[in-house]
Amino acid sequence: MTLTAERTHRPAAGHRGGGRGGGWQRRETLMLMLPALVPVLVFSVGPLLYGIFLAFTDARSGRNAVTSFVGLSNFGDLLADGDFWASFRIGLVWAVSVTVLQFLASLGLALLLNENLRFRSFARVLALVPWAMPPVVIGLMWRLVYHPNAGILNSVLQDAGLLDHNVDWLNDFSLALPAVIVVGIWTGMPQTTVVLLAGLQNVPKELHEAGHMDGASTFRRFWSITLPQLRPVIVTITSLDFVWNINQFGLVYVLTQGGPGGQTRLPMLFAYEEAFRYGFFGYAATLGVAFVIVVLALLSIYIGRQMREAN
Amino acid sequence: MRTRTALAVAAAAIVALTAGCSSGGGGAGGDKADGPVSLKFLSLAWQKESIAANKQIVDEWNKANPNIKVEYVQGSWDNVNDQLVTSFEAGDPPDVIHDDSPALAGFASRGYLLDLTGKLPAELTGDIPKPAWDTVTFGDGKGGQGVYGVPFLQESQVLIGNKKLLDAAKVRIPTPDNPWTWDEFAEISKKLTKEGSFGVAWPLKSPVNKVLNLALNFGGTFFQVDGTKATVKVGPEEQEVMRRIHDQLYKDKSADPSALGMGTADPLPGFYAGKYALLPAGVYLRQQVVEQAPKDFEWITVPPLKGTSAEQGATSQTLSVAADSKYPDQAAKFISFFLNSANQAKLAKGDWLLPTSVKAASDPSMTTTENGWDVATASAKNLVVAPYLKVNGFDEWKSKVATPTLQQYFADKITLDQAAKTLVEEGNKVLERYNN
C-alpha cells in the first residue's frame, strides 16, 4: 500500500515542478488521482489512524461499554505485562530464525537452480509450489504431517528407526516452536529463492571468468564476487522477510492457535486474542502500534548499517 | 472518470440508505407476529447424527410455521466465539445462537444477548430443573441478573471401563446408588495395573475444565465470588483431586504417564487394546466407543466417583437470542419448539449427552441399559452449576494461567504448592482487569 501511495504521489510532485499554469493543472491531477487515492485512504490510512486512536483509549467489546481516553496508560500496562514480553521474545525467536534459515536454504536452492542442470526449468517451477498455497492450506497440510498418530513424519522416523514412540510435535512444550519454525521456513522459501535467483542472474559472468583465470577457488569466487554483487538483493529480501515473518498470523493460528501453553503465541496472535477473545480492543491496538514502532526501529538499524557498510 | 466516481458514490449512498431503511422497517415489523420473517440459526452440531437431528427439527418447524422461516447455519466449536464477537460488534449476529454456558457469561455482561426472562412458555421453563437454569443465569454487566439462554444438553464425567479386565480383577461393579469413592477407585486402579498395562489413563491435554468440574467432589470451588469481584482460591479442598490424579501417575503408578498429553478421545485405541482398564471421560465418548470398538470388545459405563459428595460442576450447551435480533419474540418461539421434551430427547441421543428436560430424561431411549444410557442419565442428578461460570475473565485465566500450570503440575515439573501459588497469584492478576 505504501508503494502505491508513493507512486501516486510522484506524478503530482513532477507537475508541481513543471511550473507554469500550475493551479488548474494541479487540481486536474488531483481529480485524476482521486480514484486511486480513495481506496488507499479508506482501506489503509483510515483503519491505521483509527487503530492509532484506539491505542490511547480503553475501548472494550460490548454494547454497553463506554470508551474513554486514557492517554499512555495502555503503553504502561504493556511494558509491565509479562505475557506480552514472553510473546515478544517468541516473536523475535520466530522471526529471526525463520528469516535467517530461510535465507540460507533459499540461497542454496537458488545457487543450485542457477546451475546448468537437467530439468532446470521444471525444478524451478516445483520450487514455486508452496507460494501458490494459501497459509491456511499450508497450515492444515502440515498439521496432518505432524499428526501424532496418523502423521507421515512420525511414521517415516519410526520406519527409519530414529524414533521409538509417536511424538506429538505441535503439543510438546519444547518442540512446538521449532516445528512451527520449520513450516515457516518452508512456506517462505519460494519468494526468497526467486528473488535471489534473479539477483544471481544479474551477477556479470566476466567477473567469475576473471576470478577463475586468477586461480580463485569456487568458494573464494562465491565469497568475493557473488555475495558482494548480491548484497542489495540480500538486504532487501531479508528485511522484507523479517517484516513479513514477525507479522505472521494465519499459518500459526491454523497450526497451533498459539499453544501449547502459549509456547507459539506470536505477537500478532497475542493481539488477536486480546481483541477478539477477551474483548480488550484498546489494549490490542496498543500492541499493534508498539509493534509498528519496534519493526521500524529494528529495520532502520539493520538497513542503516548495511547501507553504511556498502558505502 | 469524474462522472463515474460520482455515480459510484451515489450508488454507494443509495445502498447505504436502503440498508438503513430496511433495518428500520424490520425493527418495526418485529412487534407484529404476522408478517413473514426469517431467522438465522447458528448451530454447532458436529456429529453426523446430531446434525441430522438438528436439520430435521428445523424442517419440521419450517413446515409448520411458513411465516417464520428458520435458516440453518453451520458453525464450529473451534472458532465460534471469535466469530460471534465479530458479528455482535458489527451488529449483524445470527438470531438464534447455539453455544455453551461458559461463553454466555462473558457475552451477557457485555450486553450482546437478550434476557429471556418472561419470553419462554411455562411448559419449557417448568420442564428444566433449577440447577440447569443456574448455568445460564448471569449478571448483565449493569448490576442486574438475567437468563441468557436455554440450557439443553449437559455433560457429566463418568469412567468407561473394559468389562473383561474388571471382571478378571474381581472388582466391585458400582451402581449409581453405590458408586466408587476416590479411595476405592485408587485401590482398584492399582489392582488393575499389571506389567505393560495400567489401571487408568488420564488424558489431560486440556486439564482445566476436567479438574475444576471434578474438584467439587471434595467441595473445591477454585473461586471466591464477592459481588462482581472474583478471586482465585486453591486450598486443601481444591488440591484434593489434583493430588489424587498426580498420585496415580507418580506414586501408585497406576495411571499411564504417556496419556497425559492426549485429548479425551486419543487414548481410545490403547483402551480397546487393553492397555488401560479405565478411561475417565465425558458421557459423549460412549458414542465413539460404540462406533469404533472391535466387535468382541465389552465395556461398561462406571458412574461418577464420590469424594465427600458426588457433585460435579456442570456447564450446558445453550440456545440464546442475540440482543440485536430484529425478531426476538419469533426467535424465542422457535427455541421453545426446538427444545421441547421430544426434540431434546432426539438431540441428546444424537450427541450422546444428557438432556436438561425432565420429561426427555424419562424417555425410554434415555433409560435403557444399552450403551450405558441408564448410568449416564442417572448421573445428571450429580450436576450442579460450575462455580467458575460466574467468574468474569475465567477464559483468560484458563488459557493464560491454569492450562500451562496444570499441565506442568501433572507432568511433575512443579510441586503442588508451586502450582497452587501460581494459580492464585498469576490468576488474581488476570482477574483484576475484569474486576472493576
Domain of B125, CATH number, reads 3.40.190.10
In this predicted structure, the answer to whether residue B54 has a pLDDT above a threshold of 90 is: yes
Decide if B336 contacts B120 (C-beta within 8 A): yes
Q: How far does the CA of residue A252 sit from the closest CA of chain B (Å)? A: 15
Q: Which of A205-219, B10-24, B413-427 has the least mean pLDDT?
A: B10-24
| From A64, A148, A261, residue closest to B111, measured CB to CB | A64
**Residue to substitute from A257, A277, A280, A286, interface B, most B β-carbons within 10 A:** A277
One domain for residues B102 and B216: no
One domain for residues B167 and B238: yes
* Per-residue pLDDT, B436: 64
Is A96 domain-assigned?
yes
One domain for residues A14 and A128: no
User: Is the Cβ of A165 closer than 8 Å to some Cβ of chain B?
Assistant: yes
Looking up cell 448421573, which residue turns up? B379
Give, as one character, the DSSP assignment of residue B389. Answer: G
User: Is the Cβ of A68 closer than 8 Å to some Cβ of chain B?
Assistant: no
One domain for residues A291 and A147: yes
Average of per-residue pLDDT across B413-436: 91
Is B42 domain-assigned?
yes
Decide if B86 contacts A277 (C-beta within 8 A): no
Between the alpha carbon of residue B8 and those of residues A28, A43, B16, B19, the distances in Å are 19, 16, 12, 16
Task: Find the closest chain B residue to A277 by CA distance.
Answer: B82
One domain for residues B114 and B263: no
**Cα separation, B91 vs B53, whole angstroms:** 30
One domain for residues B290 and B333: no
**Cα separation, A46 vs A68, whole angstroms:** 20
Which residues on chain A are in Cβ contact (under 8 Å) with B400?
Answer: 83, 262
Sign of the C-alpha dihedral, residues A291, A294, A298, A300?
Answer: positive
Q: How confident is the model at residue B34 (pLDDT cuts 50, 70, 90)?
A: low
**Cα separation, B413 vs A295, whole angstroms:** 36
In this predicted structure, the answer to whether residue A142 has a pLDDT above a threshold of 50 is: yes
The range of the structural domain enclosing residue B277 comes to 157-313+387-432
B266-275 tens-digit pLDDT: 899 899 999 9
One domain for residues A190 and A77: yes
Q: Which of A72-76, A117-121, B248-252, B284-288 has the least mean pLDDT?
A: A117-121
One domain for residues B353 and B242: no
| From B2, B110, B266, residue closest to A31, measured CB to CB | B2
Is A118 domain-assigned?
yes
| From B205, B400, B408, residue closest to A262, measured CB to CB | B400
Mean pLDDT, chain B, as a whole number?
88
Q: What is the 3-state secondary structure (H, E, C) of B254-297?
A: CECHHHCCCCCCCCHHHHHCCCEEEEEEECCHHHHHHHHCCCCC
One domain for residues B322 and B306: no
In this predicted structure, the answer to whether residue B161 has a pLDDT above a threshold of 80 is: yes
> Cβ atoms within 10 A of the Cβ of A44, count?
14
Going by C-alpha positions, the residue among B268, B234, B221 that lies closest to residue B389 is B221
* Per-residue pLDDT, A21: 54
Average of per-residue pLDDT across B366-389: 91
Average of per-residue pLDDT across B197-220: 93
In this predicted structure, the answer to whether residue B277 has a pLDDT above a threshold of 90 is: yes
CB burial of residue A40 (10 Å; 0-12, 13-18, 19+): middle
Is B379 domain-assigned?
no
B234-258 tens-digit pLDDT: 999 999 999 999 999 999 999 998 8
Q: How far does the CA of residue B105 sit from the closest CA of chain A (Å)? A: 12
Q: How confident is the model at residue B169 (pLDDT cuts 50, 70, 90)?
A: very high
The range of the structural domain enclosing residue A230 comes to 73-310
Is B377 domain-assigned?
no
**Cα separation, B83 vs B414, whole angstroms:** 36
Q: How confident is the model at residue A103 (pLDDT cuts 50, 70, 90)?
A: very high
* Per-residue pLDDT, B400: 87
**Cα separation, B70 vs A289, whole angstroms:** 43
One domain for residues A110 and A144: yes
One domain for residues B169 and B141: no
User: Is the Cβ of A261 closer than 8 Å to some Cβ of chain B?
Assistant: yes
> Cβ atoms within 10 A of the Cβ of B333, count?
19
Work out how many domains chain B is built from and give that number: 2
One domain for residues A83 and A38: no
Average of per-residue pLDDT across A28-46: 89
In this predicted structure, the answer to whether residue A130 has a pLDDT above a threshold of 90 is: no
* Per-residue pLDDT, A22: 61
For residues A252 and A10, the model is more confident at A252
User: Is the Cβ of B94 closer than 8 Å to some Cβ of chain A?
Assistant: no
Give, as one character, the DSSP assignment of residue B136. Answer: T
In this predicted structure, the answer to whether residue A17 has a pLDDT above a threshold of 80 is: no
The β-bridge partners of B383 are: B312
Mean pLDDT, chain A, as a whole number?
85
**Residue to substitute from B83, B88, B392, B396, interface A, most A β-carbons within 10 A:** B396
Which residues on chain A are in Cβ contact (under 8 Å) with B408?
Answer: 261
Percent of chain B with pLDDT over 70: 92
B94-107 tens-digit pLDDT: 999 999 998 898 89
For residues B421 and A17, the model is more confident at B421
A234-285 tens-digit pLDDT: 988 999 899 989 988 989 998 888 877 788 899 999 999 899 888 899 999 9
Between the alpha carbon of residue B314 and those of residues A67, A153, A297, the distances in Å are 35, 39, 50
Between the alpha carbon of residue B16 and those of residues A34, A252, B21, the distances in Å are 21, 37, 9
Looking up cell 460466574, which residue turns up? B390
Check CB contact under 8 Å for B1 and A35. Answer: yes
* Per-residue pLDDT, A12: 43
Query: In sequence order, what are the residues at sequence separation of 6 or more whose Cβ sits closer than 8 angstroms to the Cβ of residue A50?
Result: none
For residues B324 and A261, the model is more confident at B324
One domain for residues A122 and A10: no
One domain for residues B269 and B194: yes
User: Is the Cβ of B414 closer than 8 Å to some Cβ of chain A?
Assistant: no
One domain for residues B268 and B403: yes
In this predicted structure, the answer to whether residue B113 has a pLDDT above a threshold of 90 is: yes
Average of per-residue pLDDT across B193-221: 92
Give, as one character, the DSSP assignment of residue A113. Answer: H
One domain for residues A142 and A209: yes
One domain for residues A132 and A245: yes
Sign of the C-alpha dihedral, residues B342, B364, B130, B281?
Answer: negative
For residues A256 and B158, the model is more confident at B158
* Per-residue pLDDT, A46: 93
Work out how many domains chain A is built from and give that number: 2
Q: How confident is the model at residue A147 (pLDDT cuts 50, 70, 90)?
A: confident
B203-212 tens-digit pLDDT: 998 899 999 9
Torsion of CA B322, B431, A253, A97, to 10 degrees: 160
The β-bridge partners of B255 are: B200
Check CB contact under 8 Å for A64 and B110. Answer: yes
Concatenating the DSSP letter of every residue in A2-25 gives HHHHHHHHHHHHHHHHT-TTHHHH
In this predicted structure, the answer to whether residue B159 has a pLDDT above a threshold of 90 is: yes
Between the alpha carbon of residue A109 and those of residues A118, A189, A194, A204, the distances in Å are 15, 9, 10, 20
Decide if B135 contacts B213 (C-beta within 8 A): no
A153-171 tens-digit pLDDT: 988 998 888 888 878 888 8
For residues B42 and A5, the model is more confident at B42
Domain of A287, CATH number, reads 1.10.3720.10
Which residues on chain A are in Cβ contact (under 8 Å) with B323?
Answer: 63
Which three three-digit cell numbers place residue A309?
Answer: 557498510
One domain for residues A33 and A88: no
**Cα separation, A154 vs A147, whole angstroms:** 8
User: Is the Cβ of B407 closer than 8 Å to some Cβ of chain A?
Assistant: yes
One domain for residues B307 and B320: no
Q: How far is CA A3 from the centre of its chain?
A: 16
One domain for residues A139 and A276: yes
Average of per-residue pLDDT across B355-378: 91
